[in-house]
Homo-oligomer: A and B are copies of this chain.
Amino acid sequence: MVDTGGVAADQLRAFIERVERLEEEKKVIADDIKDVYAEAKGNGFDVKVMRKIVSMRKRKPHEREEEEAVMDLYLHALGMAGPSGDPE
């Protein structure tokens, strides 16, 4: 499966480097985010509050989706209403 001496080594190296390149990009963005917070702080805003707002806004749509998913599950589960058979 993996031939250390052959082409697989090149493949492995390529994968690793692609990952590393992407992680670098990700780090740049993370730094940008920090810069935005720093700028906001410089304008008198409370960074902790801002982070809370961002994370709450992130969770909200997620929760809605989850509730809908649970509703779907319930609807599906109605075929198993009780151990002694289904209601209809």
Chain A residues within CB distance 8 Å of chain B: 1-2, 4-5, 7-9, 11-13, 15-16, 18-20, 22-23, 25-26, 29-30, 32-33, 36-37, 39-40, 43-46, 48-50, 52-54, 56-58, 66-67, 69-71, 73-78, 80-85, 87
Looking at A74, A77, A85, the one whose CB has the most chain B CB atoms below 10 A away is A77
Report the minimum CB–CB distance from A68 to chain B (whole Å): 9
Beta-carbon nearest neighbor of A40 in chain B: B15
A5 neighbours in B (Cβ, 8 Å): 81-82, 87
Looking at the complex, which one of B15, B23, B77 makes contact with A2 (CB distance below 8 Å)? B77
Looking at the complex, which one of B13, B15, B20, B81 makes contact with A8 (CB distance below 8 Å)? B81
